[in-house]
Structure 1
Amino acid sequence: MNSVAVSRRERLRAQTAQEIKSIALALMAGGGPDAISLRAIAREMGMTAGAIYSYYATRDDLITTLIEDVYTSLVDAAEAARDAVPDGDPGGRILAWAQAVREWALANPEGFRLIYGDPVPGYQPPEGGPAQEAEHRACAGLTGLVAAAWPRAGSLQPDGRGYAWSDFDPGLAAQTQQEFPGLPPAAVALALRVWGRMHGLVALEIYGHLRTLAHDPAALYRDELTDLIRSLGLTA
């Protein structure tokens, strides 16, 4: 009987923690990153400030948990979509990853804003943790997509810019050299450009800039991806 009571308390605590996170994202959607505060969430939930601090000791603890959850969810969706396409179809894997990102963003607009929008004022992210692990996975996933396309795509890149490892963040350079030995710095530059094209129209759509301009943003996005994939010498 005691174990049943403990299990019930744990379940209720988990539900409350999830509600706190949902309200935090809703507050951010309505008032921007500045609107996230533990006291405001407590008011929304009818809790005392002391009660909510038993779940998250500080606002930064809550934001860290939100970012970890959101980023991990996004990368899980992108990786699952990519892995559903055979390794021998690099163009199809790029398309699958990108479309999964857009679909996830449309389903989780507040989460997209949290990790790709304006930073939360005063927030100090901790070193390490699931959020950085998810960021690492996203970076490695995009680089891997370009690495698979590089035998063809590399020959199609302009010759005017000679990239060196010193052009990039040391951590990114070290990560790429460790996980993709033999891949040149120019491939990292291409991966960043691919990321920019994948996210550009998604960001415009999430922030409402396409709503009055295009009736079918999905078609625009697919056309952009098709052009991107063709520019790499691939087909989707």
Structure 2
Amino acid sequence: MADPKLSRRERLRAETAQEIKTIALAHMAENGTAAVSLRAIARDMGMTAGAIYSYYDTRDKLITALIADVYHSLTDTLEAALAACPGGPAARVLAYAQAYRWWAVANPHQFQLIFGDPVPEYQAPEGGPVAEAEHRACVLLTGLVVDAWPWAAHLHTGDQHDWADYDPVFARLICEAFPGLQPAAASLALRLWGRLHGLVSLEVHGHLGPQIQDSEKLYNCEIVDLIHNLGLAVPAELAPA
């Protein structure tokens, strides 16, 4: 819904910027990430090249905006799933995991934009909207482990990570969001993501199809194992009959 505080001119500009991004994603879906061209988008919109450059003066700035939007779309979906979850830590892991897969399967080209092969010749800026979006996603994921840590900690006493093992920006972000968190909990969060993401990525890229008919059933088995790894009881909907 348009911001009522914006002037008509500002609303039209925002709508045009969004249309540019929508068409860019359509070009990616049809021809891959290398297909993004400001001139081609301008042609599809009936704009001049000069006019589109007043919105995004380089292709890289458009790509940056797209990546940030996609990260926020994914995180919005995950946050909504957690907000609607009435249960405890195990139910929250289940809600997060299922929402992660649902979003990826429903938006394969957006998933590939942020997690697939790098966009040719694209140089991501340091900081800025992409970093902000990535940080938001990291904090949300780590929060799942923080919720479960009272049950999980004793299972991971052999984890010898310390904060020096992590990227300084990531370590600072997580320590600020969760003061007093043990480095082993951050390690567990990254491994949790890696396992969820691994199966989803194989499915989205079509690599599971030749091996299994029910990718969701396989994924749910992985969720059960992850919940056990967190020292939690498996929710009834995933428990064997």
TM-score by length of 2: 0.86
Q: Distance in 2 between matches of 1:46 and 1:85?
A: 45
Q: Distance in 2 between matches of 1:29 and 1:124?
A: 21
Q: Distance in 2 between matches of 1:42 and 1:211?
A: 37
The Cα offsets for residues 139-198 of structure 1, whole Å up to 9 and x where unpaired, read as: 111111101111111111262x41111111111112222222222111111110000011
Contact 1:83 1:93 in 2 (8 A): no
> Which residue in 2 is equivalent to 1:132?
131
> Which residue in 2 is equivalent to 1:3?
none
Other structure's SS at 1:212 match: coil
Contact 1:72 1:130 in 2 (8 A): no
Paired residues for 1:219-230 under 5 Å: 219-230=217-228
Shift of 1:10: 5.0
- Size of the aligned set, in residue pairs, is 228
Q: Single out whichever of 21-30 and 199-208 deviates more from structure 2.
A: 21-30
CA gap 1:225/1:38 in 2 versus in 1, 3 angstroms:
same
Shift of 1:127: 3.9
Q: Distance in 2 between matches of 1:223 and 1:74?
A: 23
> Are 1:204 and 2:202 an aligned pair?
yes
CA gap 1:51/1:158 in 2 versus in 1, 3 angstroms:
same
Shift of 1:17: 2.6
Q: Distance in 1 between matches of 2:175 and 2:66?
A: 31
CA gap 1:57/1:185 in 2 versus in 1, 3 angstroms:
same
Q: Distance in 1 between matches of 2:16 and 2:175?
A: 43
Q: Distance in 2 between matches of 1:166 and 1:10?
A: 46
Other structure's SS at 1:214 match: coil
User: Aligned AA for 2:56?
Assistant: Y
> Are 1:23 and 2:18 an aligned pair?
no
Q: Distance in 1 between matches of 2:23 and 2:220?
A: 33
Q: Distance in 2 between matches of 1:185 and 1:174?
A: 11
CA gap 1:165/1:213 in 2 versus in 1, 3 angstroms:
same
Structure 1 regions of 5+ residues with no counterpart? 1-5
> Which residue in 2 is equivalent to 1:143?
142
Contact 2:64 2:129 in 1 (8 A): no
Contact 1:94 1:229 in 2 (8 A): yes
Paired residues for 1:15-94 under 5 Å: 15-86=15-86, 89-94=88-93
> Which residue in 1 is equivalent to 2:175?
177
Structure 2 regions of 5+ residues with no counterpart? 1-6, 236-241
The Cα offsets for residues 1-42 of structure 1, whole Å up to 9 and x where unpaired, read as: xxxxx73x5555444333321221222233332221112222
* Identity across matched positions, percent: 62
Q: Distance in 2 between matches of 1:214 and 1:47?
A: 47
User: Aligned AA for 1:106?
Assistant: V
TM-score by length of 1: 0.87
The Cα offsets for residues 85-144 of structure 1, whole Å up to 9 and x where unpaired, read as: 24x610111111111111111222111111111122222333443332221111111111
> Which residue in 2 is equivalent to 1:190?
188
